Structure 1
Amino acid sequence: MTLSDFIEADLEGLIDDWTEYARALCPKNRQHGKAQLRDSARELLIGIAADMREAQTGAQQKAKSHGEQPDLDSGFNEIGRGHATERHRQGFGIDALVAEFRALRASVLRRWQRTNRLDSTAFQEMIRFNEAVDQMVAASVRQYSLQAEHIRDLFTGVLAHDMRSPVGAILNSAHVVLRDENFSSTSVRAGVNLQHSAERLKRLIDDLFIFTRTRLGDAMPVEPTRQDFGRILLGSLDEVRAARPDAQIVAQSAGDLTGVWDAARIN
């Protein structure tokens, strides 16, 4: 019996092995039923068996061994991506995702060895099987990484959005404090530094929010206007001096420093 035929003949046993190992990898704080853990195991195994039966030249085999996949949107790769998306949703780590395929590889070969005599043909089938599994792993890991990046970008965007309110409150409070004529000169300088730092923090948070939106598909807005780079530099140095009052910082400039820039982005 060929390895691809064996996979389809022993499908239920292989799926049971898959489910049992997935249960061992399941996050401790999450409980998933058997149906959830079986997930796309049937599609994965049938897809691997079908891939093994496809004709393949020596050049195609070499290209596949180098990770060259001409059709990333094939149905075979789509199965791997779907499995990765589901495991990410279920809370599995990427190491657990890879471990599942490692266990699947061992389970298939171990069960097949019990029923088949290993000869040159068998070794060729094992090579095709390993190629198919490796391709499935690559598609799954790529999709899992994209999912993780997307969730991280969403979290960063929400965090940046929510930080705007407290920073706005600090900035408004600084404006109110600076209107108090009873403050000493030292307190006024501290209030100015607080105001400048809060404005700088607000710009950083806005940039983080915009950057996250860019990662999620929006374009990053740039507003270049005519600026004096010397003034931009001095503004940045004032912030550093406020944070390090004991430091001696000297700025030197010469010539015409005017130009067209987005001052908020280079400050």
Structure 2
Amino acid sequence: MPDQLDCHDAQGGPSIPGEIDAASDKLGYPFLGATMNSDLADFIHAEMRAILAEWETYASTLLPAGARMSSTALRDHAQEILEAIQTDLRTPQTREEEINKSHGLAVRADTVGRTAAETHALLRVADGFTLEQLVAEYRALRASVLRLWAESHPTGRDVVTEVGRFNEAIDQALAESVVFFNRETERWRYVFLGVLAHELRGPLEAVLLTSELVKRLAADTPASEATERLIRNGRRMSALLDDLLEFNRSALGLGIPVHRQACDLAVAVQEEVDLRRASLPGVVIDLSITAPCPGAWDASRMKQVVGNLVSNAARHGTAGASIGVLLETKDTEVRLAVQNTGPAIAPEMQKVIFQPLRRGGTSGPKSGGMGLGLFIAREIVRGHGGRIVLASNEGNTVFTAVLPR
């Protein structure tokens, strides 16, 4: 959360050093730390509770997201946005600065991280708001403040000037929110499409290979195992589509959902390795499981982790070399390691390798991926409260998922 800007003196009133203001007016630009009187800023400060109440009431009508949110979530960063507007109103502004602000060229204040308006936009994306609803919040805020202000203050030149400055500040906050809202939704739109394409590839390959096997078998030859594999992978494809469509319907929320159920992780790893052996003909996968691993796991998601790590090893490892998969159960944690031989991953690449779209297309004809496998694996492991550790030196690369029991 951005630092809140304090523009009051120890007694709670605005700081107005007259000498600095006079010098500022004379030279045509504000001195560092200079402030000015602002009845509207004082009004916003005094009526903060009423303004926030109207913000909350209106935000709750923005359906469907607003109906299920708490009071705190509905008011998200509204007070910080208003406090930033108060600071803006109390800051002297030259004619040039006014014109630049109207052209979207305002000089950004020296703040740490994102502004309150930018953070508000990111959280509204996660809550499932639309861009139209985000803009409507600012429209309602503007109308609320100006209506309350008009009810208690007579019109005049000073009032018109302050209203103009207030509108500038609102527009600035709105512009910051819209930019970050669009950037965040666009980022997750690409992630969604990438996940869809990436995750359908493995099951689809297994389905096609099994279908070819069934076709080659004689009509009177039992093919129950191959048929079962076909059905199992078809169901997995359906589950993946359901998950991804749910992900899209929830306004591209952050992260990959994990749903834990009681199961044996060892069984899930064995099933996924068997599937990868069928979908990666010619690749030797050595599996070692030290012991059963019962617990609360999302078996489908953990299969994705295994599949993505194995596919990554097959794609970037030495051709013809075996891939090692180890599931090791300890007292407090579980370690799932996938090892392959091949060139070491460069240190600069190791820093960004789990970011989406980083590795795909960078390793020559063997690549063929979109660079999302490691990103997906990391997010699923994080959803289980764990982490992925990478160790790579010349001739050997190991990705290890460390999961709490």
TM-score of the two chains, using structure 2 as the length reference: 0.43
Cα deviations by residue, 1:167-222 (Å, 9 ceiling, x for unpaired): 31255357658978xxxxxxxxxxxxxxxxxxxxxxxxx9xxxxxx9994515525
Q: 1:124 to 1:42 in 2, by over 3 A?
A: same
Query: Which residue number corresponds to residue 152 of structure 1?
Result: 189
Paired with 1:25 and 1:54, the residues of 2 have a C-alpha distance of: 34
Cross-structure match for 2:62: 25
Give 1:47's aligned residue. Answer: 84
Amino acid at match of 1:8: H
Contact 2:65–2:128 under 8 Å retained in 1: no
Cα distance between partner residues in 2 of 1:142 and 1:72? 17
Give 2:179's aligned residue.
142
Select 1:110's aligned residue among 123, 129, 147: 147
Cα RMSD for the two superposed structures: 3.1
Aligned equivalents of 2:183, 2:110: Cα separation in 1:
15
State yes or no: 1:10 paired with 2:47: yes
Structure 1 residue 130 corresponds to structure 2 residue 167? yes
Contact kept in structure 1, 2:59 and 2:66, CA below 8 Å: no
Q: Is the 8 A contact 1:4 1:52 kept in 2?
A: yes
Structure 1, residues 2-55: CA drift from partner, whole Å, max 9, x if none? 111111011000001100000111416851121221121111111111111112
Contact 1:77/1:136 (8 A) holds in 2: no
Q: Which residues of 2 match residues 239-258 of structure 1 at below 5 A?
A: none
CA 1:223–1:154: 2 relative to 1, 3 Å: closer
CA contact (8 A) 1:76 1:136 kept: no
Q: Which runs of 5+ in 1 are unaligned?
A: 181-205, 207-212, 226-267
Aligned residue for 2:198, secondary structure, equals: helix
Pick one of 213, 218, 225 that aligns with 2:358.
Answer: 218
Tell me the secondary structure at the aligned position of residue 25 of structure 1: coil
Instruction: Return the offset for 1:73.
Output: 7.0
The one of 117, 126, 135 equivalent to 1:98 is 135
> Deviation of residue 78 (structure 1)?
0.9
Equivalent-residue separation in structure 2 for 1:16 and 1:169 (angstroms): 56
Distance 1:219 1:70 in 2: 36
Name the aligned partner's letter for residue 100 of structure 1.
E
Q: Which amino acid aligns with 1:110?
A: R
3-state SS of paired residue (2:45): helix
Correspondences of 1:187-266 after superposition (within 5 Å): 216=356, 218=358, 220-221=360-361
Separation in 1, partners of 2:91, 2:71 = 32
Distance 2:130 2:154 in 1: 37
Deviation at 1:87, TM superposition (A): 1.4
Aligned equivalent of 1:89: 126
- 1:48-67 superposed matches below 5 A: 48-67=85-104
Contact conserved, 1:214 with 1:220, CA < 8 A, in 2?
A: no
**One-letter amino acid of the structure 1 residue matched with residue 121 of structure 2:** A
- Percentage of matched positions with identical amino acids: 36
Aligned residues: 196
Q: Which amino acid aligns with 1:143?
A: F
Code of the residue aligned with 1:221 in structure 2: it is G
| Separation of aligned partners in 2, 1:116 and 1:132 | 20
Give the aligned residue type for 1:49.
Q
1:117-166: CA deviation from partner (whole Å, max 9, x where unpaired): 11111111111101100010011111111221222222222212211123
Using the TM superposition, give the Cα deviation of residue 95 of structure 1 relative to its aligned residue in structure 2, in angstroms.
0.6
Aligned mates of 1:113, 1:30 — CA distance in 2: 31
Off by >3 Å, runs of 4+ in structure 1 = 72-77, 173-180, 213-217, 222-225
**1 or 2, which has the higher helix percentage?**
1
RCO comparison, higher one (Cα < 8 Å, 6+): 1
DSSP 3-state at the match of 1:70: coil
Relative to the length of structure 1, the TM-score reads 0.64
Q: Where in structure 2 are there 5+ consecutive unaligned residues?
A: 1-37, 218-310, 312-352, 366-405
**For residue 91 of structure 1, what is the amino acid of its counterpart?**
G
Structure 2 counterpart SS, 1:221: coil
